[in-house]
Amino acid sequence: MVVDDENFVRMNFKSFMDWEGHGYQLVGEARNGQEAIDKMAELKPDIVFLDIRMPVMDGLEVLRHLKTHSDPSKVIILSSYNEFEYVREAMLLGAVDYIHKPSLYPALVFETLNRVRGLALEERKQSDQIEHLRRNEERSKPELKALFCKGWIEGSVRHEWEIERKTKQLGIDLKQPNVCCMLLFIDNFEMVQKRYAKPLDHLVGFSVTNILSEIFRKFDQLEFFQVSGNQFAILKSYDKLRSLNDVFEKQWHLIRTIRTALKQFMNIGVSFSVSALHNQLLKVPAAYEEAFRASEDLFFEAEASVVFYETVHRRKVANHERNYEELVKQIRTKTEAANWEEADACLRLLYETIGKNRDISKRETLDLSVSLHYSLMEMYSEADRDANGSGLPTIEDIMGADNLARVRQLLANELAYIRSKRQETGISTNLKIQKVLAYIHKYYDHDLTLEELAHHVGLNSSYLSRLFKEQTSIMLIPYINQYRVKKSLDDLLDGKLKTYEIAEKVGFNSADNYYIAFKKVYGQPPNEYRKAILEGTGK
């Protein structure tokens, strides 16, 4: 039962507490002491949350009444921070616990309730219920630990006495000095999640927690909990070590143990960011902040990396000229001009420079990469993008990439796709080459020569050969043969013509040359390719 003259407090108890989920039932409420006494006589609650200062009759008078009437209800006082003397008197009058209203959150409420329920059960001498409670408390302890630790790293615990009380109460084995925070991240987290069918993808974190909880039994002065999706925190202290080298060695031993276990049982890799050492448990929020800031650097590292805050913090980055936008423009320009090698070189230079300088943040790097992605998207159609198996990246792929190498690989794949489509279709921005391509597409079944094509566009044959390669990334004669092979497919699959007849029809001067060219394009001879297609195994 809840007794408080403030509507907000009563509403908070009714609306934001999962009573049934924790094994309780809220039977009633009252706005003042007199109303509370009347309802308690009727409802007979086991536990009452009682405000001290209320109109008509305050909480102290209610306690005096209950004491004279030997009421068995257990009372938990609700007080403000400036009501210490009232709380002290209330405890003398028989209240069993108290909660400060500014700290009125569900975990604390149910934690207090569990203690009070224990008193009630003890008084009733129901040993079976006491044992049941003990088991429930043990089962809930990991969740209570994690809840407290999350609040701790976020800075909600500000006093040494709070830390001392809670660590003792929850069995948290951390000591000072030499306290640090390690953050653990699963490499390729999204891909790992996809191993589990939805809605079971949350089992990744559950599995990691279970495995590490088991292996951490061998380590003292350590607490571990999941902060969010792919962020796990390890709080570790080394109070008996005085040498920094010894601490460093122990940290690496812990990291290697974790990696070995997760690789063995889940086949996953992990990366870490590690804070500096701190002399007080009160500095745990600062340690977490350092580890979190250092984790940004993991984006610029390869998989299975470890970054230390002190190393990142000491790194002095020189003033580099911001030429990243210019490199993006060069990649776009060289791609449009089909200068593939130069485009690849610019892409490589862009990400190598970012990785080396680290003078822009992860977010700025991703924004720049998305901008480049949009530029490349303009060079292929929506149909290409929607094609099954195209392998083209999405914005989500880029923004969700674990590290810089992955972003670079996604855009390199996109560049390679554009290059392959250009080679397939013979696209070129050069008017002379466009004219050559049109001539090949019209007269592919003739005996075409380099000299004939050069004469057609008024160029030297050597220059035409070089220009064609620059524009299409393929030599001229191989392109002609590739185009002839693709034009032969309809007749090959139709099966009405013999192979040598098909070869002659599309412009090859011999069946052997047709066989060689066909195998280069499709990886197998014409007849085997036809058979595979007809049997439904061809690709």
Pick from 144, 145, 237, 229: which is nearest to 182 by CA? 237
Give pLDDT, residue 319: 43
With beta carbons less than 8 A apart as the criterion, state whether 293 and 309 touch: yes
Average pLDDT of the residues in 441-453: 91
The model's confidence at residue 318, banded by pLDDT at 50, 70 and 90, is: very low
**Predicted confidence (pLDDT) at residue 324 exceeds the cutoff of 70:** yes
Pick from 159, 138, 135, 142: which is nearest to 224 by CA? 142
Whole-number Å distance between alpha carbons of 186 and 391:
24
Q: Taking all residues of the chain, what is their mean pLDDT, rounded to a whole number?
A: 84
With beta carbons less than 8 A apart as the criterion, state whether 467 and 475 touch: no
CB neighbour list of residue 96: distance below 8 Å, 6 or more residues apart: 74, 75, 76, 116, 119
Give pLDDT, residue 254: 93
Q: State what percent of residues in the chain have pLDDT above 70.
A: 90
Give pLDDT, residue 233: 93
Prior bond of 525 cis (ω within 30°): no
Whole-number Å distance between alpha carbons of 317 and 183:
24
The model's confidence at residue 82, banded by pLDDT at 50, 70 and 90, is: confident
Please give the DSSP secondary-structure letter assigned to residue 278: B
Give pLDDT, residue 238: 92
From 50-54, 302-306, 387-391, the region with the lowest mean pLDDT: 387-391
**Most confident of the ranges 196-205, 416-425, 438-447:** 438-447
**Predicted confidence (pLDDT) at residue 335 exceeds the cutoff of 50:** yes
Whole-number Å distance between alpha carbons of 73 and 83:
23
Please give the DSSP secondary-structure letter assigned to residue 147: H
The CA radius of gyration of the chain, in Å to the nearest whole number, is 36
- The larger pLDDT score, comparing residue 198 to residue 471, is at 471
**Predicted confidence (pLDDT) at residue 154 exceeds the cutoff of 80:** yes
Give pLDDT, residue 316: 47
pLDDT digits (tens, 9 = 90+) for 347-406: 999 998 888 888 888 888 888 898 888 888 877 665 555 554 456 788 888 888 888 888
**Predicted confidence (pLDDT) at residue 426 exceeds the cutoff of 90:** no
Which residue type sits at 503? Answer: A
Give pLDDT, residue 34: 92
The model's confidence at residue 537, banded by pLDDT at 50, 70 and 90, is: very low
**Beta pairing, strands 74-79 & 47-51:** parallel
pLDDT digits (tens, 9 = 90+) for 473-508: 788 888 899 889 888 988 888 888 999 999 999 999
pLDDT digits (tens, 9 = 90+) for 100-153: 887 778 888 888 888 888 888 777 765 555 566 567 766 777 788 888 888 899
**Predicted confidence (pLDDT) at residue 275 exceeds the cutoff of 60:** yes
Whole-number Å distance between alpha carbons of 80 and 52:
9
| Predicted TM-score (pTM) of this structure | 0.51
